[in-house]
Amino acid sequence: MEKLKERITENGIDHILAGDCYIPDWKLPEEIIKSELIYI
């Protein structure tokens, strides 16, 4: 049995491994703003 990747991108949407299935890794507007401030 092959090991599943921790993160994947499908159709432009990031997914994170949760158990044995993937769920969308959506970011709330506050998280996006905070993450963008780090890179400025």
The pLDDT tens digits for 1-40 are 688 999 999 988 899 999 889 999 887 666 666 665 655 4
For residue 15, tell me if it sits in a domain.
yes
For residue 1, tell me if it sits in a domain.
no
Tokens for 37, please give them. Answer: 């401030």
Q: Which domain holds residue 15?
A: 7-39
For residue 2, tell me if it sits in a domain.
no
- pTM greater than 0.75: no
Number of domains in the chain: 1
pLDDT at 40: 47
For residue 21, tell me if it sits in a domain.
yes
15, 25 Cβ separation under 8 angstroms: yes
- As a residue count, the chain comes to 40
pLDDT at 7: 94
Sheet strands (E) in 1-40? 7-10, 13-18, 21-24
Pick from 36, 38, 13, 37: which is nearest to 24 by CA? 13
